Amino acid sequence: MNLKRVIPTLLLGDSGFVKGQNFKNHKYIGDSTNVVKIFNDKEVDELIVLDINASRKNAPPKFEIIEMLASECFMPLCYGGGITSFDQAKTIFSLGVEKICLQTSSLLRTELISEIAQVFGSQSIVVSVDVATNFFGQRRLYNAAARRSLKGSWLEHAQKCVDAGAGEVLITSVKHEGLLGGIDEALIKEASDNLSVPVVAGGGVASVEDIKLAIQCGASGVSVGSFFIFYGPHRAVLINVPSKEVIEKKLSEIL
């Protein structure tokens, strides 16, 4: 069976990897090198690493850390955070990273997507689209760096990024992120039904059943954070990834 991708997503803070809830209250989960080595041992499909402070602080990518991560990873690596220019993207690729993830820069200048895609190809660019839900249940495009919702349509923005050359879209529900309470099925389905590129679904995965459900909703990959990192009601840090056999068995139930 050709498995859909199940992708651990790690958030890089100032002194290592962290994980929070609804994009806040981040808790330290471990040293960058050690955490990556654990996922190497688990033989995961891919790894996404997002620097959550770079764009917020108008700081450039941490190239030394990126080089270290790329050298440690046995799986394809996608890196995002602070990328604002073609030259920065070029440097990151030269360090051994297979994909870059753009969010803040895609909100400011979609032309950057085209500039990178023309040289490195669309398959090398993932656009991260965070979606918030307001009090009335309305979905809004969310700027994670500015920590606020925007007026524009999240789907129109995602489509604009695809038109510019993005080869993949990472959709994350802010309302569900980090809570281990289940995924946003409707959001994943809407994104998958309307976008012509692979969609990676993020936010809320709490079980292998949720991974299966996201795939059933149309996602080609599932971004997983807390489910692979925390254990028990007190959210003790215990990185634990179900075996490929367990995931494959669950996905084989999809007709």
pLDDT digits (tens, 9 = 90+) for 112-166: 999 999 999 999 999 999 999 988 889 999 999 999 999 889 999 999 999 999 9
pLDDT score for 135: 85
Give residues with Cβ within 8 angstroms of 147, minimum separation 6: 23, 24, 56
What is the band of 4 on the pLDDT scale with cuts at 50, 70, 90?
confident
Q: Would you say residue 1 has pLDDT above 50?
A: no
pLDDT score for 176: 93
Give residues with Cβ within 8 angstroms of 169, minimum separation 6: 126, 127, 128, 129, 158, 161, 162, 191, 195, 197, 198, 199, 200
Convert the pLDDT of each residue in 64-112 to its tens digit.
Answer: 999 999 999 999 999 999 999 999 999 999 999 999 999 999 999 999 9
Q: Would you say residue 255 has pLDDT above 80?
A: no
Active-site choice (130, 163, 184, 210)? 130
* Nearest of 40, 39, 41, 19 to residue 28 by alpha carbon: 19
Structure tokens at 152: 């524009």
Q: Would you say residue 200 has pLDDT above 60?
A: yes
DSSP class per residue in 3-19: PPEEEEEEEE-SSSEEE
Active site residue 41: no
What's the CA gap between 119 and 227, in Å, rounded?
A: 36
Q: Taking the complete model, does pTM exceed 0.85, yes or no? A: yes
Convert the pLDDT of each residue in 210-254 to its tens digit.
Answer: 999 999 999 999 999 999 998 877 788 888 888 878 888 878 887
Q: What is the dihedral of CA 85, 88, 90, 91, to 10 degrees?
A: 170
- Eight-state DSSP code of residue 83: -
What is the band of 28 on the pLDDT scale with cuts at 50, 70, 90?
confident
Q: Phi then psi for 233, rounded to 5 degrees? A: -65, -20
* Nearest of 1, 3, 11, 2 to residue 224 by alpha carbon: 11
Q: In a 10 Å sphere around its CB, with 0-12 CB exposed, 13-18 middle and 19+ buried, how is residue 148 labelled?
A: exposed
**Between these two residues, 43 and 130, which has the higher pLDDT value?**
130
Task: Count CB atoms within 10 A of the CB of residue 83.
Answer: 25
Domains and CATH numbers, the chain: 5-251 (3.20.20.70)
Q: What is the dihedral of CA 172, 178, 184, 188, to 10 degrees?
A: 30
Structure tokens at 130: 């965070």
pLDDT score for 3: 56
pLDDT score for 231: 82
Token pair 């609804």: residue: 22
pLDDT score for 98: 97
pLDDT score for 238: 80
